[in-house]
Amino acid sequence: MSMDKTRFFDTQATETWARAEYTDQETEKLRQVMSAAGVLPGMNVFEPGCGTGRLTQLMSHQIGPEGGVVALDMSRAMLEVSRNRLKGAENVSLIMDTMENTNLVPDYFDAVICHNVFHHFSNKIAMLRKTAEILKPQGQFLIHHFLELSEINNPARKIHDIVYQDLMPSLEQMQSMLSLSGMKMTYYSDSNDGFIVRAALA
Ligand SMILES: C[S@@+](CC[C@H](N)C(=O)[O-])C[C@H]1O[C@@H](n2cnc3c(N)ncnc32)[C@H](O)[C@@H]1O
């Protein structure tokens, strides 16, 4: 399943939805969301499902030379675009792996940030447990999507069978998954301005 999805995302790396630069409005929104999640210069941030590295680049600037961004994606083609985009960004490391199975240093990150990706994780509990393991005790977990939940899950938006079942959990499901993973929700917002969940270690 995961291999098939990996190949699917490989085919998407040249598509406009994956590569187009963020508009000024999107960039401003992401800056606000990061700032609300406490992303500050000097922090160590982890970004699973970084795709073509657009947010990675933004965060690299935000955290500055004293901080570090580790960005991961299972798609070789997506990471290739990220690698080109982030050439020379000394505070960025890129990893090719699945979020659920990757090995990272526990207790290391100040923030884990999922942008436009959480619904795609095949094993969300494994993803959340990994997040809880790598966050520092005061670390923040953020899920953000430009769209509201009903749009993320709208079957008409799914561009291929392989992602048809990739759904954002309901509020109740999210609370339960976070709790099973040793985290607690600290903020939830679902509106036509986007979807945001913030959580911390329980
Ligand atoms: C919709 S794209 C979003 C990319 C990026 N976050 C953005 O907003 O442009 C989802 C990305 O997550 C990656 N992905 C999906 N499931 C993954 C998993 N289990 N582990 C690692 N990467 C994954 C895909 O390869 C793809 O690049």
pLDDT at 110 over 70: yes
What average pLDDT score do residues 112-131 get?
97
Give the DSSP H or E segment for 11: helix 2-12
pLDDT band at residue 5 under the 50/70/90 scheme: very high
CA 119, CA 144: separation in Å to the nearest integer?
10
Q: Helices marked H in 13-155 — which ranges?
A: 16-19, 24-36, 54-63, 76-85, 124-134, 149-152
Q: Are 59 and 81 in contact (CB under 8 A)?
A: no
Q: What band does 3 get if pLDDT is binned at 50, 70 and 90?
A: low
Q: Return d(Cα 191, Cα 146) in angstroms, integer.
A: 10
Cβ 114 under 6 angstroms from ligand 1: no
CA distance 18 to 69: 20
The yes-or-no verdict on residue 111 having pLDDT over 80 is: yes
- With CA atoms as reference, report the closest residue to 111 among 142, 84, 78: 142
**Contact in structure between 63 and 38 (CB atoms under 8 Å):** no
At 78 the pLDDT is 98
Q: How confident is the model at residue 41 (pLDDT cuts 50, 70, 90)?
A: very high
**Rounded distance from Cα 9 to ligand 1 centre (Å):** 8
Summary mean pLDDT of the chain: 95
Say how many Å lie between the CA of residue 22 and the centre of ligand 1: 16
Helix (H), strand (E) at residue 46: strand 44-48
Whether 12 has a pLDDT exceeding 80, the answer reads: yes
| Strands of the sheet with 194-201, listed across from one edge | 92-96, 68-73, 44-48, 109-115, 135-145, 194-201, 183-191
pLDDT attached to residue 159: 83
Average pLDDT over residues 169-185: 98
**Single pTM value for the model:** 0.96
**Confidence label for 177 from pLDDT (cuts 50, 70 and 90):** very high
Q: Is 75 a pocket residue for ligand 1 (Cβ < 6 Å)?
A: yes
Nearest CA to ligand 1 atom 14: 49
Residue 175 CA, ligand 1 centroid: distance in Å: 22
Beta carbon of 113 within 6 Å of any ligand 1 atom: no
Provide φ and ψ at 122, rounded to 5°: -70, -35
Q: Is 124 in the pocket of ligand 1 (CB under 6 A)?
A: no
Question: If you measure from the C-alpha of residue 129 to the centroid of ligand 1, how many angstroms do you get, rounded to a whole number?
Answer: 18
Give the atom of ligand 1 at the shortest distance from the alpha carbon of 78: 27
**Superfamily of domain 2-201, CATH level 4:** Vaccinia Virus protein VP39 (3.40.50.150)
State yes or no: pLDDT of 30 exceeds 70. Answer: yes
